[in-house]
């Protein structure tokens, strides 16, 4: 290799200064072949980078097409517009130079490392540390040698913020050569895993082999773009025979290669990406706005704040620019960096407030954006089907969280809901439904955010089918076949109805009916019922046939009512609390179902249970009493509470009874002075030791109420102690004549016209 025929450019991945300097160097060198650090399997699809539909950030994705789940391995090679490698690809395609990737093939890299050992700790703290510190963080060593304590700050000052001047690549190559000379002379002292060192040796051997092949093909001006650390290894005069021995017999696996959209957030170091940068948004700005970057950045920050109705004038921007430049001058920086413009934003544009600064950080510093790939990019059929569905339903993927409200009475919104539920079935969580949505209504709220790994999940899910509907159907049938509990089966049935998977329902319903018929555990039956009731309600709302579900629900309700009295006898505290949750869930489900026969059977069951209070835990008895009181089925609730909290009752049981009775909310105490007097008198009459014992239970009960509710209960209790002659709070008097129209309207809405 001679310098006149081969130029090696050592870059830092995803650096705007490196990208700009590399573009200038390539324009000056005019190579007829450009080799780029990356998987050579991507050579057949590299020309897609010139397609107008290819919009960075994007990534090369290598994956194993065989196997599913943990057997599948995948790797990404991301590119932003400000990545030097991306600029090298675009330059080569624009000038007609041959472009290839020269790293070790993905087929070899996706084979797991072997002989790995822990890396020695405490080895990269400074110039006196072990050599692995240099290998793992060479830029950090150079930064410390230059007197910087921040690697990013040093690199920004010497490379990314540079405009014009001589090419930085000779200096970078010289610096890397010095560092490599130190670590390569003592490989046995590296302290790094043996598998890692072998992998790096093979990568560099393959890069050298690729350079030789390109030269042998007759190319006269070859440019090699790689990580700066590899430059000395590529320029070293290593014999070809030695590289051949290094690469002989490498294990490999079958891989496929494609392009996928990427995001700026996944280019950030905090995302866990090893070659990540501190601020993708700032770097993108530096690359796309080389002239007056500080002024343009602060103007954009002002635009973000104004969009949120915050007052920011032109004078604010001017003063912020002056402050940023003054800070840069004081710190000896060639250009105000992200730290300086952020401080200026906080001090001037945001007037010291942190919340607006966080807004600017989210919108500009990260600068989240989602790339795009052209239609002719290689994809599995499932990916293509999803893209077609996204276009049909006008659901455009976005890297930012986006709220999507759906009205299920509209055909398009209903189809959108079906698509999102089907994707969740196959493991692609593009949309997450809001937990606050009402059950059985015509509305759904989703939070949509596209993540790059969804493409890998779609590839994995393609084992289930070639369309989203087909894959979701096959997945639902498999889940039904492998369900370990009745509640799991009811959940699958509910998801099938939400996703409109009529083809899967017969299989799921057969498995559900068979399991429900033989399961005798009342707890299992109670856990299964709510999902089935929701499924029935969703079916009514969506117009989906739910006939088979009615039969299963009818059977479950009967079996729960028959088995519940025996199941709640003799419970300890933990079991009683679990039962309380299941009782509430079944009660809410039957109320939602609004089937009078089932509700009447359930209430009679509860009445039979509270008729034998000695067999019930206090928590359960109190809760059942409250449910029946709310339904108007117990006329003697004050007497029952008086007995439960009487002097003869154990304080712990009395506290549990009160907790169960009040767990549905404290409004009852606000409107029933008799019950409030009973609770207040019981608490006031507790001996000191007993009060200490029951205090945690009371705090748990009343702590679940809102602050306004607790305050109102306290006011009521204060008035009880003050006596009947105590002044009433202002506005507490009720004008029945004025309240009558509002009460009549409320009764009409509730369907209780006859109660007026």
**Domain range summary for the chain, segments of one domain joined by +:** 6-268, 289-366, 381-461
Q: H or E stretch including 214?
A: helix 194-216
CB 410 within 8 A of CB 221: no
> What pLDDT sits at residue 708?
78
Residue 688 makes CB contacts below 8 A (sequence gap 6+) with: none
- Sheet containing strand 443-448, edge to edge, reads 402-407, 443-448, 431-433
Beta strand 443-448 with 222-227 is unpaired
Rounded-to-integer distance, Cα 532 and Cα 634, Å: 29
Q: What are phi and psi of 463, to 5 degrees?
A: -65, -20
Put simply, whether the predicted model's pTM sits higher than 0.85 gets the answer no
CB 382 within 8 A of CB 466: yes
> What pLDDT sits at residue 117?
39
> What pLDDT sits at residue 725?
45
Distances (CA, A) of 461 to 43, 354, 456, 469, 495: 26, 43, 9, 12, 17
Nearest alpha carbon to residue 630 among 563, 681, 675, 683? 675
Beta strand 443-448 with 402-407 is antiparallel
Where the chain has pLDDT below 70, the residues are 1-4, 66-72, 113-136, 162-164, 184-192, 269-276, 435-441, 538-548, 664-668, 721-734, 751-756
Cis peptide before 496 (omega within 30 of 0): no
Residue 278 makes CB contacts below 8 A (sequence gap 6+) with: 152, 268, 269, 338
């Amino acid at each position: 290799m001679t310098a006149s025929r081969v130029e090696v450019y050592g870059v830092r991945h995803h650096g705007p200064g490196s990208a700009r300097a590399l573009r200038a160097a390539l324009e000056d060198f005019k190579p007829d072949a450009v080799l780029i650090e990356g998987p050579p399997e991507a050579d057949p699809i590299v020309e897609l980078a010139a397609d107008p539909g290819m919009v960075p950030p994007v990534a090369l994705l290598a994956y194993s097409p065989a196997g599913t789940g943990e057997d599948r391995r995948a790797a990404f090679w991301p590119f932003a517009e400000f990545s030097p490698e991306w600029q090298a690809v675009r330059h080569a395609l624009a000038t007609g130079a041959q472009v290839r990737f020269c790293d070790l093939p993905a087929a070899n890299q996706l084979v797991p490392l072997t002989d790995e050992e822990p890396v020695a700790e405490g080895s990269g703290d400074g110039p006196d540390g072990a050599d692995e510190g240099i290998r793992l963080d060479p830029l950090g060593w150079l930064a410390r040698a230059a007197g910087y304590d921040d690697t990013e700050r040093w690199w920004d000052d010497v490379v990314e913020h540079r405009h014009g001047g001589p090419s930085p690549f000779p200096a970078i190559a010289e610096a890397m050569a010095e560092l490599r000379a130190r670590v390569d002379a003592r490989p046995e002292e590296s302290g790094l895993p043996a598998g890692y060192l072998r992998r790096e040796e093979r990568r560099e051997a393959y890069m050298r082999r690729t350079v030789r092949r390109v030269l042998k093909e007759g190319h006269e001006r070859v440019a090699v773009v790689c990580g700066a650390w590899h430059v000395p290894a590529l320029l070293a005069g290593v014999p070809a025979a030695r590289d051949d021995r290094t690469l002989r017999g490498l294990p490999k696996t079958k891989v496929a290669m494609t392009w996928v959209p990427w995001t700026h957030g996944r280019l950030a170091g905090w995302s866990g990406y090893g070659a990540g940068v501190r601020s993708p948004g700032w770097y993108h700005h530096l690359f796309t706005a080389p002239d007056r970057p500080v002024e343009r950045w602060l103007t954009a920050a002002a635009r973000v704040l104004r969009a949120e109705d915050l007052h920011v004038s032109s004078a604010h921007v001017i003063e912020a620019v002056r402050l940023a430049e003054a800070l840069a001058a004081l710190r000896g920086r060639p250009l105000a960096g992200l730290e300086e413009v952020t401080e200026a934003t906080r001090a001037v544009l945001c007037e010291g407030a942190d919340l607006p600064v966080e807004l600017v950080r989210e919108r500009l510093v990260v600068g989240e954006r989602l790339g795009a790939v052209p239609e002719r990019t290689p994809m599995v059929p499932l990916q293509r089907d999803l893209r077609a569905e996204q276009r049909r339903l006008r659901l455009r993927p976005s890297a930012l969280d986006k709220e999507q409200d759906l009205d299920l009475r509209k055909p398009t919104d209903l189809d959108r809901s079906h698509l999102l539920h089907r994707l969740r079935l196959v493991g692609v969580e593009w949309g997450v439904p809001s937990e606050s949505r009402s059950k059985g209504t015509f509305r759904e709220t989703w939070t949509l955010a596209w993540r790059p790994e969804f493409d890998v999940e779609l590839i994995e899910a393609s084992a289930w089918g070639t369309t989203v509907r087909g894959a979701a159907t096959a997945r639902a049938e498999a889940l039904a076949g492998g369900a370990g509990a009745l509640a799991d089966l009811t959940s699958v049935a509910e998801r099938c109805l939400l996703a409109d998977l009529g083809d899967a329902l017969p299989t799921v319903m057969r498995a559900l009916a068979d399991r429900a018929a033989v399961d005798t555990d009342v707890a299992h039956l109670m856990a299964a019922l709510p999902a089935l009731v929701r499924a029935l309600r969703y079916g009514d709302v969506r117009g989906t046939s739910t006939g088979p579900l009615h039969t299963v629900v009818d059977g479950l309700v009967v079996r729960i009512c028959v088995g519940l009295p025996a199941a709640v006898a003799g419970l300890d505290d933990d079991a009683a609390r679990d039962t309380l949750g299941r009782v509430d869930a079944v009660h809410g489900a039957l109320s939602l179902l609004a089937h009078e026969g089932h509700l009447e059977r359930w209430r009679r069951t509860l009445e039979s249970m509270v008729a034998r209070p000695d067999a019930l835990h206090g928590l359960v008895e109190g809760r059942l009493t409250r449910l029946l009181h709310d339904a108007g089925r117990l006329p003697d609730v004050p007497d029952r509470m008086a007995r439960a909290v009487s002097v003869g009752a154990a304080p712990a049981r009395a506290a549990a009874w009160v907790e169960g009775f009040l767990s549905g909310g404290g409004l009852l105490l606000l409107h029933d002075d008799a019950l409030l007097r009973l609770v207040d008198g019981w608490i006031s009459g507790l001996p000191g030791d007993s009060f200490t014992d029951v205090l945690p239970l009371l705090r748990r009960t009343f702590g679940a109420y809102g602050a306004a509710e607790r305050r109102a209960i306290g006011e009521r209790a204060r008035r009880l102690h003050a006596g009947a002659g105590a002044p009433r709070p202002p506005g507490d008097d009720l004008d029945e004549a004025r309240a009558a129209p509002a009460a009549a309207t409320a009764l009409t809405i509730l369907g209780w016209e006859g109660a007026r």
